[in-house]
A and B are shown apart, each in its own frame.
Chain A
Amino acid sequence: MSKARAIVLAGNPNVGKSTVFNALTGLRQHTGNWPGKTVSAARGTCELDGEAFTIIDTPGAYSLHAHSAEEEAAMEAICFGHADAVIVVCDAACLERNLNLLYQVMEITDRVVLCLNLLDEAGKQGIRVDMNALSGFLGIPVVGACARDGKGMKELLRAASRTMDHNAEPKRAGYSSAIEQAASDLAECLREPLKGIINPRFAALRLMEKDACFRRELAKRMVINASIEAAIQRARDQTGLSPEELSAQLTESVYHAAEEACTLSVHTTKQRTENQLKWDRRLTGWAGVPVMLLLLAVVFFITLKGANWPSEGLTAFFAKAETILQNGLEALHLPDFWTALLTEGAFRTLGKVVAVMLPPMAIFFPLFTLLEDSGYLPRVAFTLDGMFEHCHACGKQALTMCMGCGCNAVGVTGCRIIDSPRERLIAVLTNSFIPCNGRFPMLFAMLTLFFAGGGLGGALASAGLLTGLAALAVGVTLGVSRLLSVTVLKGVPSSYTLELPPYRKPQFGRVILRSLLDRTLFVLGRAASVAAPAGVIIFLLTHLQAGGQTWLAHITAFLDPLGRLMGLDGVILAGFLLGFPANEIVLPMILLAYTAGGSLQEMTSLTALGGILRAHGWTALTALNLMLFSLFHFPCATTLLTIRRETGSAKWTVFAFFLPTVIGMILCMMMAGFAKIF
C-alpha cells in the first residue's frame, strides 16, 4: 500500500477548524478549542473510499505573516509541511477577512480547497454565499460545511482528494506590474536552491518583504548566501518600494481581490440584528463588571456545592479500596511498616487528593468551557484590559486568572494565549495569587469559625469577607505585575489585537467531554503523580522518631519561631509545607500534627474543628494570617511542575516559588506586628 496522502488544515482562529478536524478524524485526536491548545500540529487519520489520508491540524492563524508562536507553527506546517493538499477552513459569516489567509495559501500551492464552515450560523445572520460563483472566481473547489453536525465532511475529503490528482488553477491576487516583475526575476534566481522546499515566487515575495519569521524558517532549509542576498536587494530596488510599503501593497491587493470575491458571491438578505450589539454594549461597559463578578460567583457556588456529594462518594470509595489494598498486602506478608507506608502513606494521600480535587474541577472546567464557547470570555479580557494596561500587562491575563480560580496549573497553561513572552511570564508568575478551588474550603472554614456566626447574617458577612479577600488577591496580582514590569521583567505594554467572536450557543455535549478530558484529567494525572510520593514522605515524617519525638514534631518545633513571627505557629507552617502536593490537604495536615495522629484524618464537624484549633491557641488573628498565607504562598507541586514545563526554566520556577512566599510572609508579619501595637 502506498503512503497515506497528507492534508493540512489551515484557518483563522474561531472558525471551527478543530471541529472540522474532529469530524474528519472521528475524535481520534486530542484537540480542544482551548486557545493555545494546538501549539504544534496535531495529526489524525481518516479514510475515504478505501484510501487513507493523514490530516494535519495547525493552530489558528490570521495570516502567514506570523505574529505569535502558534502562528509560526501554523506557517511552518503550511509553507514547509509538503502536504498533498491544503484545506483552508473559513467562517461563512466573515468570509472577506478569512480570504486573506486563503489567498496567501494559494500562492504556495495549487492544491487548495476552501471549506466554508458555519454555514448554518451565517444563514441565521441572513448571509448566503453563492459557492459556485465563489469557486469560479477563486479557481478552486469550495465545499460548504456545518462541521458541528458533520455535514459536508465527505464532500470535503473528496474535493481534496480530487485536487491532488487534477491540479486546479487558482486565480491569485494580482499585484502591480513592477512587483510582479521583480518577484518573478527573484523567483528565477531562487528556483534551483529552493527546489523541493517551497514555491519560489512566494518565497521571493516574502524575502522582499523582510518577513523575519519566514526567513528564519527558510534559513533552516537553505543557505541564503551573498549572491541571493544581492538578488533580494536588487528585486527590492526594482519595485522602488520599502519592505514596509511592499507589505502594505501586497495585503491591500489581496483584500481587493477578497472584496471582489465577496461582492460576487456573498448576499446579505436581511440586516444584521442589532440586538446582539445592544447586549454587547451593556456587557462590556461599566455595567458589565458586576455581571462578570456575579457570573464568577455563580460558577463558584455551583462548583463548591455540587462537589460535596461526589467528593464524599469518592472518599468512601477510596476508603474501601484502601482496605482491599491493605488485605492484599497483608496476604503478601509484607512487614507491617511497609504495608502501612503504602496504604496509609502513599495510597491514602493519593485518594484524598483525587477525592477532593476531581469533583470541583470536573464541575468548574466544563462551566468555564461553556462560557468560553459562548464567546463571553474575550469580552472579559476586553472589559478589563485597561487595568492590565496600567500594570504593563495583557488583558488576556484576566482569563488566565479566571482559569486559576479553578486550578492554578490550568491557569498557568492557559497563559499560552498571551502572545508577548514578557507578559506571558508575568501572568505565569502571578497566577498562584488567585485562590484555586483547593484553597476555598479552608478560607470558608476560617471565615465561618472565626469571623462570622451562623445564620443569614453570618453567611452574608463571610461572603463579604471572601469578596474582600478575592479583591486583595486581584489587587496584589495587579500590583506585583506592575512591579515585575519595572524590575525583573522590564518593558512597556505590548500591542495586541483581540477578536470578539459573535456569541454562539455552546456545543454542550462535546465541549463538556473535551474539557473533562483535556483539563481535568490532565491536572489530575499530574497531581496524582506528586501525591503518592508526598504521602510516603508525610508518613515517614510522622512515624520515624528521633530522640523520642517524631520528625514532624522536630520540624514544627524548628519552624515555630518563624511561625510565631508571622502570627501563626510552627504546626501551621509545617502544614503548608506538607500540603505541597495539594492545597486541599493543608488543613488536614495541621489537624494531623495537632492531634498527633499517624496519618491523614477526616475533618469531622466544623464545631469540633473550631474546638481543636482554639485549644491550640488560635485567635481571629491566627485565622486571618492563615488566610493571607493561604492566598500568598508557594504554588502547589502540580502548579510548579507546570510552570517548569511552560517556562522551560528552572530559574523562573524557583522565582515562582519564592515570589508569593516572600510576599505572604511579609504580609503576615505586618499583620502580626500591627496586632501587637494595637
Chain B
Amino acid sequence: MKNLADLCLGETGWVRNAAGGLSQRLRDLGFTRGAGVECLLAAPGCGMRAYRVRGAVIALRQRDARQVIMEDGRHE
C-alpha cells in the first residue's frame, strides 16, 4: 500500500487515513480521508519533506509520513 513518503516531489496524492502516535495531530492539520496532498519540498539527504495540504505547507519526517496511508487512485 502506498504511503505519504512514497509521494515524489511535485506529485499529488489523496489521503486514506493517518495512523500512529501522530495520527490525531496529522488529522487536525488536515490529513483526513480524501484530502489532496502535494509534495512540495524535500530537504537534503533523507531529511524532511514538505507537503501542501488544505492551503498550508506542513513538513514531516519521512518516518512520520509513512504513517499516512494514501489512496491508490483518486478518492471520490
Contacts and interface: CB of A to CB of B under 8 A. Distances in A.
Contact of B54 (A94, A280, A385): A94
Contacts of A499: 56-59
Interface stretch (A36-44, A248-256, A446-454): A248-256
B56 A385 contact: no
B7 interface: no
Nearest to B33: A252
A386 B48 CA distance: 7
B44 A93 contact: no
A280 B41 contact: yes
A95 B56 CA distance: 9
A383 B43 contact: yes
Contact of B41 (A244, A284, A386): A284
Contacts of B42: 284-285
Interface in B18-53: 18, 20-30, 32-35, 40-48, 50, 53
A67 B25 contact: yes
Contacts of B23: 244, 247-248
Interface residues of B, number: 38
A361 to B, nearest CB: 30
B61 interface: yes
A322 interface: no
Contact of A289 (B32, B44, B48, B58): B44
Contact of B44 (A63, A247, A286, A497): A286
B73 interface: no
Contacts of B46: 386
A280 B30 contact: no
Nearest to B64: A495
A94 B55 contact: yes
A495 B20 contact: yes
Given A97-B56, A285-B44, A65 B24 contact: yes
B12 interface: no
B30 A100 contact: yes
A575 interface: no
Nearest to B41: A284
Interface in A620-657: none
Nearest to B21: A495
Contacts of A498: 48, 58-60
A386 B58 contact: no
Contacts of B27: 247-248, 251-252
B47 A385 contact: yes
Given A251-B32, A255-B30, A385-B61, A62 B25 contact: yes
Contacts of B30: 96-97, 100, 255
A65 B25 contact: yes
A386 B40 contact: no
B41 A497 contact: no
B58 A247 contact: no
A253 to B, nearest CB: 9
B32 A248 contact: yes
A382 B48 contact: yes
A181 to B, nearest CB: 22
A386 B20 contact: no
A285 B50 CA distance: 12
B28 A63 contact: yes
| B35, B48, B53, B63, most chain A CB atoms within 10 A | B48
B55 A497 contact: no
Contacts of B28: 62-63, 65, 67, 100, 251
A65 B28 CA distance: 8
Given A386-B48, A497-B29, A247 B59 contact: no
B41 A382 contact: yes
Contact of A500 (B32, B45, B54, B57): B57
A438 interface: no
Nearest to A104: B28
A96 B55 contact: yes
Contacts of A67: 24-25, 28
A255 B25 contact: no
A382 B50 contact: yes
A496 B64 CA distance: 8
Given A255-B30, A500-B57, A500-B59, A395 B48 contact: yes
Interface string A40-75: 000000000000000000000011010100000000
B20 to A, nearest CB: 7
B9 to A, nearest CB: 8
Contacts of B53: 97
Contacts of B64: 495-497
Interface in A270-303: 277, 280-281, 284-286, 288-289
Contacts of A248: 17-18, 23, 27, 32-33
A613 B45 CA distance: 46
Contacts of A95: 55
A493 interface: yes
A128 to B, nearest CB: 14
A484 B40 CA distance: 34
A115 B32 CA distance: 25
Contacts of A496: 22, 61, 64
A497 B21 contact: no
Contacts of B35: 255
Contact of A389 (B17, B21, B44, B61): B61
Nearest to B47: A386
A378 B46 CA distance: 18
Contacts of B59: 378, 382, 385, 497-500
Contacts of A96: 30, 54-55
A94 B56 contact: yes
Interface in A62-93: 62-63, 65, 67, 93
The 9 closest A-B CB pairs, nearest first, are A386-B47, A63-B28, A495-B22, A498-B59, A251-B27, A94-B55, A500-B57, A97-B54, A96-B54
Interface of B: 17-18, 20-30, 32-35, 40-48, 50, 53-61, 63-64
28 contacts: A63-B28, A94-B56, A96-B30, A97-B53, A97-B54, A252-B32, A252-B33, A258-B54, A280-B41, A285-B43, A382-B50, A383-B47, A385-B47, A386-B43, A386-B47, A495-B21, A495-B25, A495-B61, A496-B22, A496-B64, A497-B22, A497-B26, A497-B58, A498-B58, A499-B59, A500-B50, A500-B57, A502-B57
Given A252-B27, A288-B44, A385-B43, 10 more contacts: A93-B55, A94-B54, A247-B23, A255-B30, A285-B42, A384-B43, A495-B64, A499-B58, A500-B50, A501-B57
Interface of A: 62-63, 65, 67, 93-97, 100, 244, 247-248, 251-252, 255, 258, 277, 280-281, 284-286, 288-289, 378, 382-386, 389, 395, 493, 495-502
